[in-house]
Amino acid sequence: MLLALPALGLQSAQADEVAGTILSIDWQGGSFALDDGSDYPLANTIDQDELTIGMEVLVTYTKGR
């Protein structure tokens, strides 16, 4: 299953994507880590039953200008 996570940040910023496997989820800290070592914030619209460790995801995020 490949889950696409929503973009975070400003609408006017450039969007980018990265695919990976979730290695850890910090629900209290509001972030998750992928197998490439990158960390991303969790959107407040993501429920705890939607993400699991080992899940393959496609993360869409925004970069500032």
Check residue 1 and give its pLDDT.
Answer: 46
By DSSP bridging, strand 14-26 and strand 56-63 are antiparallel
Answer yes or no: pTM beyond 0.85: no
Check residue 65 and give its pLDDT.
Answer: 55
Tens of pLDDT along 4-51? 565 555 455 678 899 999 999 999 999 999 999 999 999 888 888 999
Q: How far apart are CA 32 and CA 41, in angstroms?
A: 6
Check residue 19 and give its pLDDT.
Answer: 94
Question: The domain 2-63 is classified under which CATH number: 2.40.128, 2.40.50, 3.30.70, 1.10.10?
Answer: 2.40.50
- A 10 A CB-CB count for 23 gives 15
Check residue 32 and give its pLDDT.
Answer: 96
